[in-house]
Amino acid sequence: MDKGKNISKDRKKYLKKIRNEKILVKVVQFSIIIGLIVLWEVLANKGIIDSFIMSQPSRILNTFLNLSQNNLLEHIKVTCIETLIGFLLGTFLGAVIAIMLWWSKFLSKVSEPFLVVLNSLPKVALRTSDNNLGGCRNASNYSNGTCNFLNSNNIRNTKWFLKYR
């Protein structure tokens, strides 16, 4: 049975109106996006907005078209692989540790306070090295440039911490 033959003229008119309205909405949405991009480009070219901070659509497009230069695609690939390996390794180790804690009531009781403390620490404080992340502005010589939660500057400033708490 063909759907189109059993539809009345009014129904066809209504469906055409709905289809035209959807097309109009998409055209207006696309026009707004194009208008904003053109406005952004013009404002950056005229110097009204700082193109160093906000860049420019033409620069972004140029960078996108030249992704293969300077081995950028290779760096993106390595980053994606490292992210995937880290996620899979973390998931696997987390599942193994969870199974061990579930299996052994003794191990669960022993590790509970340590897990509570680790969970309450800010995740930034658990960073172990300073690999390509820059040093802390206030880090002392004894903390090897790291900006961990428990470096010597923070220990010395416990009076300040308790005073303004």
Instruction: List, for residues 30-89, the tens digit of each pLDDT value.
Output: 999 999 999 999 999 999 998 888 899 999 998 888 877 778 788 889 999 999 999 999
Residue 143 belongs to a domain: yes
Same domain? For 115 and 72 the reply is: yes
Residue 3 belongs to a domain: no
Same domain? For 94 and 115 the reply is: yes
Domain count, the chain: 3
Same domain? For 57 and 83 the reply is: no
Residue 16 belongs to a domain: yes
The string of DSSP codes covering the chain is --TGGG--HHHHHHHHHHHHHHHHHHHHHHHHHHHHHHHHHHHHHHTSS-HHHH--HHHHHHHHHTTTGGGHHHHHHHHHHHHHHHHHHHHHHHHHHHHHHHH-HHHHHHHHHHHHHHHHS-GGGG----TTT---TT--GGGTT---TTSHHHHHTHHHHHHT-
Same domain? For 15 and 32 the reply is: yes
Same domain? For 30 and 52 the reply is: yes
Residue 157 belongs to domain spanning = 122-165
pLDDT per position as a tens digit, 78-121 = 999 999 999 999 999 999 999 999 999 999 999 999 999 888 88
Chain mean position to CA 25: 30
- Where a domain ends, among 85, 104, 120? 120
